[in-house]
Amino acid sequence: MPKLIRLYITQVAMGFVISAVFVGVLLVLNVANLRTLILGSDIGLVALAMIWFMNGIVFAGVQFGYKIMSMAEKPQGPHRGTPVVAGLKPATIRVEKT
């Protein structure tokens, strides 16, 4: 299996694990009375699965994007501005009293 495909699958799995933890925290803290709504409804498990799956898609995309962007090579040296900041000297200003 190519390394990129393996990386994608592992990061997507990590995103869905993070989603499960997130939904668990939502239920434990009863955010917006969500636990009461899910436990009191006859289709609460469907709602729970949908919340987990939709958040899993979001977290998987963010996880994969973060991993890919963190693999970039770090730039060497300054890119803009003055390369030697220590060479700057304050300008003297003459103030006359009136």
What is the DSSP track for 14-25? HHHHHHHHHHHH
The pLDDT assigned to 97 comes to 87
**Radius of gyration of the CA atoms of the chain, in A:** 26
Contact 55, 10 (CB under 8 A): no
- Give me the number of domains the chain comprises: 1
Boundaries of domain holding 34: 3-68
> Does residue 44 sit within a domain?
yes
Q: What is the pLDDT of residues 21-50, one digit of tens each?
A: 999 999 999 999 999 999 999 999 999 999
pLDDT band at 1 (very low <50, low <70, confident <90, very high): confident
> Does residue 90 sit within a domain?
no
> Does residue 26 sit within a domain?
yes
> Does residue 83 sit within a domain?
no
> Does residue 73 sit within a domain?
no
Q: What is the pLDDT of residues 42-89, one digit of tens each?
A: 999 999 999 999 999 999 999 999 999 999 877 666 566 655 566 667
Q: What is the pTM of this model?
A: 0.72
